[in-house]
Amino acid sequence: IGQQELINTLLAHTSLECSSPINLTMIGLDGRPTQKSLRQMFTEWIAFRQTTIERRTRHRLGKVQSRIHILEGRQIVLLNIDEVIAIIRQSDEPKAALMARFNLSERQAEDILEIRLRQLARLEAIKIEQELASLRDEQKKLEEILDSPAALRRLMVKEIEADAKTFADARRTLILAEKKVVLEVKVVDEPVTVVVSQKGWVRAQKGWVRDRLSGAEASQYSFKAGDELYGTFECRTIDTLLAFGSNGRVYSVAVALLPGGRGDGQPITSLIELEAGTQLLAYFAGPVEASLLLSSSAGYGFTATLANMISRQKAGKAFVTINAGEALCQPSLIANAATGVPAATHVACASTGGRILTFELAELRAMPGGGRGLMLIDLEAKDTLAGAAAYTRSVRLDGIGRGGKLRDETLEIRSLNNARAVRARKGKVADLGFKPNKITRVE
């Protein structure tokens, strides 16, 4: 067992971490002791801080305004210093005389009588002007805070951040986002061949069987009466089998869960939750890195990896957008390094009307979240897309000819190049002698 796996298991299933109940009773803004939640405590504390800052600001504003009032009185006296001295020396009531002569307030007059005359010298006049300028600037800022709730909140946040920086200590416990702990039975990584029948019976056989679906090689598998081989997939026990529904959902089953042996296997519908009326149209098994080309009969498509389509839900994952009257086409393998399938470079589209269009795979878009995709081919009225296949050198077309006879034809690189254009064009009419209903990658 890996060290990290053991740690995750202990954290998930033991009491290395536990919680303890606490009684949060506090005296709130109403002055009464009450049990409160953390949210209530924080809300009341924030309201208290706002009130505190507002009161402090008003108190400071009063002090500033009082000092400005005193200094303005001294400025008046400085302009008439000789007359002020004469009034103080000659008047029996100098306070009243100063108030009457210079229109001073009682506080200003008392201040003039209490200070030393040398404080009214020219040097002091410069200091008074500087202090007045500073106080008036502070007064403006204090009034802005009191007039704007937003400014008051900004000041509160700034003070809290400053206190946290000054007094808080470094966090001792790091809070890191970890993946959800999931206990799984360890699967031995070994090669298997997944066998799927047309009616959806699945099984896995040990080792890889190089099956090309031809003659005696395909006949080595036995199926129930009326059933036959859909396909085989060389993969590994750690890989995933995907089933594509007619509703555009993709259903995932771990290859390790598939029955083994040489029996008929197990219906895949017993391993997934299929919606009523939904049919399984296609299957693929491989590693999460493998990529597929997905398309619909409406002529739209995109690329995605198996990792994008896998879901832990038995009900599957909605992935391909299928509108009313449309159908899902056969998925096409783009690349699978695990089995040596090289990455495709081009896409071939075939319509049921017999049109063929090829273009570079780079023109398509990868859509990890699924969807409708981009237009692959410009279809004419009543024409539909039979399928789209990624390829490097050749593809095979299957269809029905005259008299209902099954027909197929392999198109090599020269024929495919004749239909080369760019994505979303109409393509060229191919002289096939039958109507295609499927296109698959050969090479």
**CATH classification of the domain holding 105:** 1.10.268.10
Q: Is 402 a domain residue?
A: yes
pLDDT of residue 213: 42
Residues 337, 195 share a domain: no
pLDDT at 301: 97
Query: What share of the chain in percent tops pLDDT 70?
Result: 93
138, 167, 196: which is the final residue of a domain? 167
Give the confidence band of 114 by pLDDT, cuts at 50, 70, 90: confident
Q: Is the pLDDT of residue 195 over 70?
A: yes
Most confident of 174-183, 215-224, 343-352: 343-352
- Do residues 205 and 295 share a domain? no
Cβ neighbors of 366 (< 8 A, separation 6 or more) are 291, 302, 303, 304
Q: What pLDDT is stored for residue 212 in this prediction?
A: 40
- Convert the pLDDT of each residue in 421-434 to its tens digit: 999 999 999 988 89
Task: Please check whether residues 298 and 424 belong to one and the same domain.
Answer: yes
Residues 194 and 241 sit within 8 Å (Cβ to Cβ): yes
pLDDT attached to residue 214: 42
User: Of 234, 267, 285, which marks where a domain is finished?
Assistant: 285
Taking residues 26-35, what's their average pLDDT? 90
Lowest mean pLDDT, pick from 26-35, 204-213, 220-229, 279-288? 204-213
Q: What is the pLDDT of residues 63-93, one digit of tens each?
A: 999 999 999 988 888 888 888 888 888 888 9
User: Cα angle vertex 263, ends 262, 269, to 5°?
Assistant: 120
Residue 303 sits in which domain range?
Answer: 287-443
Q: Which of 285, 312, 327 is the last residue of a domain?
A: 285
Q: Does 308 lie in the same domain as 227?
A: no
**For 3, left (φ over 0), alpha (ψ -120 to 50), or beta?**
alpha
3-state secondary structure the chain: CCHHHHHHHHHHHCCCCCCCCCCCEEECCCCCEEECCHHHHHHHHHHHHHHHHHHHHHHHHHHHHHHHHHHHHHHHHHHCHHHHHHHHHHCCCHHHHHHHHHCCCHHHHHHHHHCCHHHHCHHHHHHHHHHHHHHHHHHHHHHHHHHCHHHHHHHHHHHHHHHHHHHCCCCCCCCCCCCCCCCCCCCCCCEEEEEEECCCEEEEEECCCCCCCCHHHHHHCCCCCCCCEEEEEEEECCCEEEEEECCCEEEEEEHHHCCCCCCCCEEHHHCCCCCCCCCEEEEEEECCCCEEEEEECCCEEEEEEHHHHCCCCCCCEECECCCCCCCECCCEEEEEHHHCECCCCEEEEEECCCEEEEEEHHHCCECCCCECCEECCCCCCCCCEEEEEEECCCEEEEEECHHHCEEEEEECHHHHHHCECCCCCCCEECCCCCEEEEEEECC
Q: Give the alpha-carbon dihedral of 330, 332, 338, 341, to 10 degrees.
A: 130
| Residue 16 placed within a domain | no
In this prediction, residues 321-337 reach a mean pLDDT of: 94
- Same domain (yes/no): 296, 427: yes
Task: Dig out the tokens for 340 from the structure.
Answer: 């040596």
Average pLDDT over residues 348-377: 96
Query: Looking at residue 283, what is its pLDDT?
Result: 97
Is the confidence at residue 134, as pLDDT, over 90?
yes
Q: Give the pLDDT of residue 147.
A: 93
The pLDDT of residue 141 is 94
For residues 325-329, average pLDDT: 95
Are residues 350 and 395 both part of a single domain? Answer: yes
Whole-angstrom CA distances from 154 to 39, 49, 158, 216, 243 are 20, 12, 6, 81, 56
* pLDDT given at position 236: 93
Q: What pLDDT is recorded for position 179? A: 66
Give the model's pLDDT for residue 216: 41
CB 113 within 8 A of CB 70: no
Q: What is the pLDDT of residue 12?
A: 74
| The pLDDT of residue 211 | 43
Same domain, 145 and 248: no
* 316, 348: one domain: yes
What pLDDT score was predicted for residue 404?
86
Total count of domains within the chain: 3
With cut-offs at 50, 70 and 90, classify the pLDDT of residue 171. confident
Q: What is the mean pLDDT of the chain?
A: 89
pLDDT digits (tens, 9 = 90+) for 376-391: 999 999 999 999 999 9
- Predicted confidence band at 218 (pLDDT cuts at 50, 70, 90)? low
76 domain residue, yes or no: yes
- pLDDT above 80: residue 358: yes
> Whole-model pTM?
0.60
Examine the domain organization and report whether 241 and 138 are in the same domain.
Answer: no
* Co-location of 294 and 439 in the same domain: yes
